Amino acid sequence: MNYLIVGIGGFLGANARYILGGWLASKWSTAFPFETLIINVSGSFVLCLFMTLALERFEIPIEYRQFFAIGFLGAYTTFSTLTFETIELLQQGRVLYALLNILGSGVLGLLAGYLGVISGRAI
């Protein structure tokens, strides 16, 4: 049953990523992967917010945590894409964009995660 719970969450998270990523890509230049950066940062915030609320505030059952944290957000966030896109930027000689991509996702992701924990504790 856990496989089904995680799988349904993954299906929904992958589609959310696909829809949001496509929409964001249509709004900005493709010179820099803004959609991946935004998805990674928002996923970091939401995961940390959710897990803080789930474990410290509301004692959300493990099945719901698996569905949302492992399934949905696991499929929604895109760190493997971050790696691939950064390598592509490096191969294109766009070193500054590659560094911005790694540092932006890493630093902003950590900051968003920290803000998620703070937000979860403040609720």
What are the binding residues? Answer: 74, 77
Indicate the annotated binding residues for Na(+): 74, 77
In angstroms, the Cα distances linking 14 to 94, 106, 117 are 28, 21, 24
Please say whether the beta carbons of 27 and 91 come within 8 A.
no
Phi, psi dihedrals of residue 77, rounded to the nearest 5° = -75, 160
Residues in the chain: 123
Residue with tokens 């991946």: 36
SS3 59: coil
